[in-house]
Amino acid sequence: MKWKNKGHEFDETGRALQEKKEVYLYGAVPIAQDLIKLMEWLHLGINWEVYVVDRDPAKQKNGLCGCEVLSPEAFFNREKKDALVVICTSFAVEKEIRELLKGRLAEDIPVYSHMTFLYEQLPIYFLYAHDKVFFPSENMLPSTICNLNCRDCLNFTPYIKKHHVASLEELKRNVDLFFKAVDRIYLFQITGGEPLLYKDLQSLLEYIDQNYRSQIFRLELVTNGTVMPSDSLCAYFKDKNIHIVLDDYRRAVPERAHVHERIREKFSEFQVSYLDNYVGKWFRMYIPQQEHPVLSEEELIRKFDVCGTPWCSLRDGKLSLCNYSMYADTAGICRASEDEFFDLSRYQESDKKALVEFRLRYSQKGYTEFCKQCNTWEKENVCWCDPAIQYEKEKEV
């Protein structure tokens, strides 16, 4: 999005959200549970009454995290006061529920997907109702070094000529700047490169935990599942409730499959909370020899808006408008322009609204340089392939 009224882009939405009194989470599923806990953590329950809707009688009987679970009939028949609805299901089922809601809800009741609610409405509401900055997510890379060389790595590892390895002091400074500006964050993620190869990983996690844990809802680390974490690190993950995303590349890298299996055993042994992350397909964001049509400024802005990637990265005291653009810049694929970054070292209280707007994808230009040669993020991407195909640098893709 291109800034038209910097610092006031969400004035109207902020006002409308503050008038809401009831939030209905459609689907008594783990996503709804997570949102209830998040809203509690953000103290939003002070202003909002939260209900859940689900057709399962057992769930209606038990409630969800202290919230009443209504049947769909009870929900439709009920008089709803200044309400909003959040659909807490997968994208596939969301369509079905939107159909079900169509024509049965008053026109002034907005319906959001859980992603839109988390990534847009909650930051806006938190800003306008509490005058505080809430980020849905942010990631940080201690280093771009990885032991794998995936052709379609979203960090563009095969194209990196000179790896970026941040010192522990640099990372601490980034974290300090970030939490000076951001009051609360849902997901703070350490990724890479392969973060388990970073020698000061535990010291970094300790620094974050000791100084900023109360501002983080979920502290997470992503690993490619081919590097064995030490016993002390596993004990630390468990002790500090650090969630691990364990990617599963056993099919693509069979020679490292035994490591993945051993990590799973070790995580169970140490009772580490982790997600076994197998995906059947990857999308190809960058294909070196691919030709892209030359787009006008308006077309690039539209491409950026439609793409809708929710991810943002922190580096050198700056936030990126799109993390993939920052990664492409690091890999030397394309030079990012100045306006793609929000410089936290110059942040002042009066920049609060502009900061939230930037995180919600507003900028001076309205797109990134990498948008010119990027196949867009998952939702709009049509170039899919097998995951983690290993690429030798010398070989033609």
CA 157/CA 138 separation, integer angstroms = 20
Q: Which is nearer to ligand SF4, 321 or 356 (CB)?
A: 321
Total residues contacting ligand SF4 by CB under 6 A comes to: 13
Q: Which of 322, 336, 355, 360 binds ligand SF4 (CB under 6 A)?
A: 322
By beta-carbon proximity to ligand SF4, the closer residue of 18 and 375 is: 375
Residues 6+ apart with CB under 8 A from 340: 320, 321, 322, 325, 326, 363, 365, 368, 369
> Among residue numbers 261 through 290, which ones bind ligand SF4 (CB under 6 A)?
none
Q: What is the CA radius of gyration of the chain?
A: 22
d(CA 145, CA 79): 56
Question: Among residues 201 and 328, whose Cβ is nearest to ligand SF4?
Answer: 328
Q: Which residues pair with 140 in a beta bridge?
A: 190, 314
Q: Taking contact as CB under 6 A, which single stretch among the options 153-161, 259-267, 337-345, 372-380 is the one that binds ligand SF4?
A: 372-380
CB of 307 vs ligand SF4, minimal distance in Å: 3
Among 60, 121, 137, 368, binds ligand SF4 (CB under 6 A): 368
Angstrom distance (rounded) from CA 156 to CA 326: 10
Tell me the window of 25-33, 73-81, 176-184, 319-327 that interacts with ligand SF4 (CB under 6 A). Answer: 319-327
Angle at 381 between CA 380 and CA 387, to 5 degrees: 140
Q: Is the CA virtual torsion 376, 380, 385, 388 positive or negative?
A: positive
Tokens of 214: 């109360």
Q: By CB under 6 A, what part of segment 299-318 binds ligand SF4?
A: 303-304, 307, 309
Residues 107-136 touching ligand SF4, rule: CB under 6 A, are none
Q: Where are the beta strands (DSSP E) in 36-133?
A: 49-53, 69-70, 83-87, 111-113
Of 19-27, 135-143, 207-215, 364-372, which part binds ligand SF4 (CB under 6 A)? 364-372
In whole angstroms, the minimum distance from the beta carbon of 324 to ligand SF4 comes to 4
Q: Minimum distance from CB of 224 to ligand SF4 (Å)? A: 21
**CB of residue 59 to ligand SF4, shortest distance in Å:** 37
Asked if 370 is part of the footprint of ligand SF4 (rule: CB under 6 A), the reply reads yes
Query: In sequence order, what DSSP letters do the residues of 318-380 get, joined into one string?
Result: EEESSHHHHHHHHHTSSPPPGGGEEEGGG--GGGHHHHHHHHTT-BSSSS-GGGGG----TTT
Rounded to whole angstroms, the Cα distance separating 198 from 142 reads 7
| Of 274 and 377, CB closest to ligand SF4 | 377
- Closer residue to ligand SF4 in complex, CB, 163/292: 292
Cα–Cα distance for residue pair 88/85, rounded to 1 Å = 9
Report how far residue 268's alpha carbon sits from residue 262's, in angstroms, rounded to the nearest whole number. Answer: 10
Q: Looking at 53, 111, 374, 388, which residue binds ligand SF4 (CB under 6 A)? A: 374
Considering the complex, state which of residue 366 and residue 387 has its C-beta at the smaller distance from ligand SF4. 366
State which residue, 191 or 368, has the beta carbon closest to ligand SF4: 368
Tell me which of 219, 329, 376, 387 binds ligand SF4, using CB under 6 A.
Answer: 376
Min CB(328)–ligand SF4 separation in Å: 7
Site for ligand SF4 in 323-362 (CB under 6 A): 324-325
Half-sphere exposure of 272 (CA within 13 A, CB side): 27
Instruction: List interacting residues with ligand SF4 (CB under 6 A).
Output: 303-304, 307, 309, 322, 324-325, 368, 370-371, 374, 376-377
